[in-house]
Structure 1
Amino acid sequence: MSARLRSRRSTYARLPERAWRAIAGNAPPTAPIGLRAQPSRMDDLTAHAALGLALRIGASMLAVGASAADVTATMLRVAAGYGLANCQVDVTFTSITVSWDREDAVPLTAMRTVRTSRLDYTRLQGITDLAHAVGTGSLGVEEAHHRLDRIVSAPPTYRRTVQALGWAGVAGSVGFLLGGGWLEALIAALTTALIEQVMRVLNRRSLPLFFQQAAGAALATGVAVLLLAWDVDVRSSLVVAAGIVVLLAGLSLVGAAEDAISGFPVTAAARAFEVVTLTAGIVVGIAAVLDVAQRAGIPLDVVDTSPSAVPFAVGLVSSAGIAGSWSLACHARPRAVVLAAGAGGLAWTTSWAAGDLGTGPAVASGVAAVVLGFGGEVLTDRLRIPPLLVAVCGIVPLLPGLAIYQGLFAIVVDADIQGGLAALVGAAAVGLGLAAGVTLGEYLGRPVAARRDRYDERVRRRAMTAE
């Protein structure tokens, strides 16, 4: 071997971080293909403990709704905090694999299955703070494991009664936002609280989520049908729409869009298929009850209500109530609840202003979502609140629950397939606009907030690299 070749080989072996720039020169910022593993003096026991910690942190974040890009960047940062600089992370929605490649030794690889759970913003913030502490080198491996044990095993922030009040607050505020009065809001709140309790029981019995969504939608529609059968003077469609919004808010549409844009097609496809499946459950539940009511001769009706039909002050307060109640039901701390309420009011105001300028519902919702994503990235780090809280809670007032009900009503009751499909396509467009807008806003906000480090850059680069 020539001296020049030996020199180049030794140079390549000493390139843990600078390889991204030094080898490629002026080429696009991609990793050198086939770069050999780096030597390490770390013993296997310490390496296993560090890999296990990174894997547990990633699985915990993914379980409470974090995106695949954030999970991957956090795991790389945690592993590098203990000297494991040559790690590869693979996220596939239901499992995470991490591998540490080292010179002259078999790579260390570990895999963990992810069990999805409900959103818990307090737990997510605790995991994120732990990951940042590990990245700065201020925690030992065992201490970090013990601290993670305390975070994931801590009791819920609020009792079930507070959660039920949160869900009821979401539905009641939706009733006001769609133009209903106190009676519609009260019935929607009570119905949604009942739906939540029923779904909690079904979840304990391990009933698949598809059937849980169908049962919740059927219960909301059934209450509306009973109100009509008893000739109660309320707009029953608002009760159904409020229940649908609560069911839709639990979907991972924003996460699916962000994973797809960030270069995680497998995880994005899994999330998107889950969204489609759970939405189909809502459709099945509503359609079944509407069909039964029609065969029973109950006179059904639907109103054409949009957020612009309510006074501005009512819409602003209702949107803030929706977002704040949703964050409360997802175990957010009081300061986070206030921020979420502000995000909901900001989203509705932006959408209202964009609609007043002549834009369609999908575009107006997308613009509002961009503002939310940007604000979440800029503000939440300083306030120690997950950006996911601002994005998810803020878009809940804009979810197209009434449009979905109108589309299904037109298909099942009025036999207007063309009009019903148009309403459903419009609802889908609003949902995609919200998801894409949040992702774009987060991308625009990261340079301003100075949140990107080299691990964020390494992960985000996947979206621009042809692999």
Structure 2
Amino acid sequence: MDARDVNLTLDFCLRVGELLLSSGAGAADVAASMRSLSRHLGLRNAEIDVTYINLSMQYQPDPEEMPVLVTRQVQIRAIDYDHLTQVDHLIRDVIRGALDLKEARAELARIVSGGHGRPRWAVTLGVAAMAAAVAVQLGGGVLVSLLASVSAVGIDRLQLGLMRRRLPIFYQQVAGAGLASLLALGAAASPVDIDVSSSITANIVVLLAGIGFMGALQDALTGFHITASARLMEALMSTAGIIAGVSGGLALASAVGVTIPPITPGATDVQGTSLSVAGAAIAAGAFAYASYAPRRIIAPIALIAAVAMGIFLALPTDLGRALGVGVAAFFVGLVSYSVSGRLRVPPLVVVVSAVVPLLPGLSIYRGLTLLSEGTGPDTSDGLLAMFTAASIAVALSSGVFLGEYVAQPLKRPARKLEARLAGPRLVGPVRTPRTRKRGRKARSEPA
């Protein structure tokens, strides 16, 4: 290959890796996909380095020649699972030999420049439906669901404006959580009898849904510790913003004499298991819709989330919330590989959306309300609730990946080609084509 083709190939691989990483894919999946692309486009043994904000590839065809090093900074993008799905198909087409480098670069440019597949107002409606469904899942009635959906619309539009002004994510989360708390405070001060605690909790789940706990744990499990640390720090800062916003609202409520009671785990089953399961299904499907997931996968995601919630509610409460959530997440990881393969979407789209109803919004809100009441037993219970929230987040991620390990064992050809990969694939092809292997076998046979 001449220098021009080498540079174009490296640039194409880096652009694909940038889109995958910014969409929430694990660093191992990004590196493996880039390595597969470079090999099938003629660059064997290219060195790849993935961090949270930078990608680099180095290619040296011969020890006596100067190496070619290309780097690219990862730009922060809004999650778009439709773009992620199209890029995943592009990777498979290149590896299958259906596209050459020029065609692949043109297709990637079309995907990136094509814009989102849904209007922005439709995404806002999806976020509102998600908040209302979580409120139903928590046992809220019509008024609670309405308040949660109105708060979610306000949060979405507020954060969109702050993001356009390039305000850091921490302040976006503070503003969103603070707005939800203020609206709940106004509702609690009104003569209308409404459980504002469920509304706040539902909006905490909405704010938690976009945080990359899944990618952080995957990077930690697969040996990309620098990227895992960066993603974990970003997730902690985002969660800290939610805590700060809700705490400010609770403090203001105490100052003006408005009582906002804590919500207990037992309150989630007030309206029965059937409503909780239905709320979980709608919440997961609405999040997938708001994240621009292809329409064909939304109903399966809702079904998987409903079954997972049913599993969680069916387990004895003596086991603890973290263990119950882990078992439900294991089911999600176990079935997501087969479902995503049949519907031709990356498993990442399924697992991230299906675990949304299991996010620890309830534990976070309960811990904050108990901590706001002062010292004594309430403080200990509040700290325990916050620790439970952290345990649930870990149980969610680890349960999903354990299910993926069971459902998607690595095959030997993939292990040889993708040496650094140490876990299940959530993005990119699992197996490599066998055409070259068959060709070598045919050439070795006597004429």
Post-superposition offset of 1:455: 6.2
Instruction: Classify 1:154/1:455 alpha carbon distance in 2 versus 1 (closer, same or farther; 3 Å).
Output: farther
Post-superposition offset of 1:378: 2.4
Matched residue, 1:304: 264
Work out the CA distance in 1 between the residues paired with 2:286 and 2:417.
32
- What is the SS of the residue equivalent to 1:260? helix
**Aligned: 1:446 with 2:408:** yes
Matched residue, 1:73: 32
Letter in 2 for 1:257: L
Letter in 2 for 1:69: A
Equivalent pair of 1:96/1:111 in contact (CA under 8 Å):
yes
Equivalent pair of 1:184/1:234 in contact (CA under 8 Å):
yes
Equivalent pair of 1:73/1:455 in contact (CA under 8 Å):
no
- 63, 80, 95: which one pairs with 1:120? 80
Report matched runs for 1:31-430 at 5 Å. Answer: 42-103=1-62, 104-306=64-266, 307-355=268-316, 358-415=318-375, 416-430=378-392
User: RCO (CA 8 Å, sep 6+): is it higher in 1 or 2?
Assistant: 2
Post-superposition offset of 1:137: 2.3
- What is the SS of the residue equivalent to 2:419? helix
Work out the CA distance in 2 between the residues paired with 1:300 and 1:379.
42
Work out the CA distance in 2 between the residues paired with 1:71 and 1:224.
42
Work out the CA distance in 2 between the residues paired with 1:340 and 1:74.
25
Letter in 2 for 1:336: I
Q: Cα deviation per residue 1:177-228 (whole Å; 9 max; x = unaligned)?
A: 0011111011101110111001101111111100000000001111111111
Equivalent pair of 2:36/2:418 in contact (CA under 8 Å):
no
Post-superposition offset of 1:231: 2.9
**Aligned: 1:458 with 2:419:** yes
- What is the SS of the residue equivalent to 1:96? strand
Work out the CA distance in 1 between the residues paired with 2:361 and 2:327.
19
Is there any run of 5+ residues in structure 2 with no aligned partner, and where?
425-447
Work out the CA distance in 2 between the residues paired with 1:231 and 1:269.
47
Q: Cα deviation per residue 1:397-435 (whole Å; 9 max; x = unaligned)?
A: 011112111111111134432111111001110111001
Matched residue, 1:36: none
Equivalent pair of 1:355/1:361 in contact (CA under 8 Å):
no
- What is the SS of the residue equivalent to 1:453? helix
Is there any run of 5+ residues in structure 1 with no aligned partner, and where?
1-41
Work out the CA distance in 2 between the residues paired with 1:445 and 1:353.
23
Post-superposition offset of 1:91: 0.9
Letter in 1 for 2:50: V
Identity percentage over the alignment? 35
Post-superposition offset of 1:266: 0.5
Work out the CA distance in 1 between the residues paired with 2:361 and 2:387.
13
Equivalent pair of 1:319/1:344 in contact (CA under 8 Å):
yes
Q: Cα deviation per residue 1:325-344 (whole Å; 9 max; x = unaligned)?
A: 00000011211111211121
Instruction: Classify 1:419/1:462 alpha carbon distance in 2 versus 1 (closer, same or farther; 3 Å).
Output: closer
Q: Cα deviation per residue 1:326-375 (whole Å; 9 max; x = unaligned)?
A: 0000011211111211121122122122346x421101111111111121
Work out the CA distance in 1 between the residues paired with 2:12 and 2:95.
12
Q: Cα deviation per residue 1:31-70 (whole Å; 9 max; x = unaligned)?
A: xxxxxxxxxxx22111111111111100011111111111
Post-superposition offset of 1:232: 2.1
Letter in 2 for 1:353: A
Instruction: Classify 1:299/1:405 alpha carbon distance in 2 versus 1 (closer, same or farther; 3 Å).
Output: same
Q: Cα deviation per residue 1:15-35 (whole Å; 9 max; x = unaligned)?
A: xxxxxxxxxxxxxxxxxxxxx
Post-superposition offset of 1:457: 4.5
Letter in 2 for 1:63: S
Work out the CA distance in 2 between the residues paired with 1:231 and 1:403.
28
Matched residue, 1:12: none
**Which segments of structure 1 move beyond 3 Å, counting only runs of 4 or more?**
305-310, 454-457
Letter in 2 for 1:177: Q
Post-superposition offset of 1:460: 2.3
Equivalent pair of 2:405/2:423 in contact (CA under 8 Å):
no
Work out the CA distance in 1 between the residues paired with 2:255 and 2:43.
65
Post-superposition offset of 1:295: 1.5
Work out the CA distance in 1 between the residues paired with 2:413 and 2:209.
28
Work out the CA distance in 1 between the residues paired with 2:241 and 2:37.
39
Instruction: Classify 1:461/1:257 alpha carbon distance in 2 versus 1 (closer, same or farther; 3 Å).
Output: closer
Equivalent pair of 1:228/1:300 in contact (CA under 8 Å):
yes
Instruction: Classify 1:318/1:334 alpha carbon distance in 2 versus 1 (closer, same or farther; 3 Å).
Output: same
Work out the CA distance in 1 between the residues paired with 2:306 and 2:125.
20
CA RMSD of aligned residues (A): 1.8
Work out the CA distance in 2 between the residues paired with 1:335 and 1:462.
27
Equivalent pair of 1:404/1:423 in contact (CA under 8 Å):
yes
Paired residue total: 420
Q: Cα deviation per residue 1:440-463 (whole Å; 9 max; x = unaligned)?
A: 112222129x69724675132499
Work out the CA distance in 2 between the residues paired with 1:147 and 1:222.
46
Work out the CA distance in 2 between the residues paired with 1:295 and 1:201.
29
Name whichever of 311-320 and 254-263 sits farther off: 311-320
Work out the CA distance in 2 between the residues paired with 1:71 and 1:314.
39
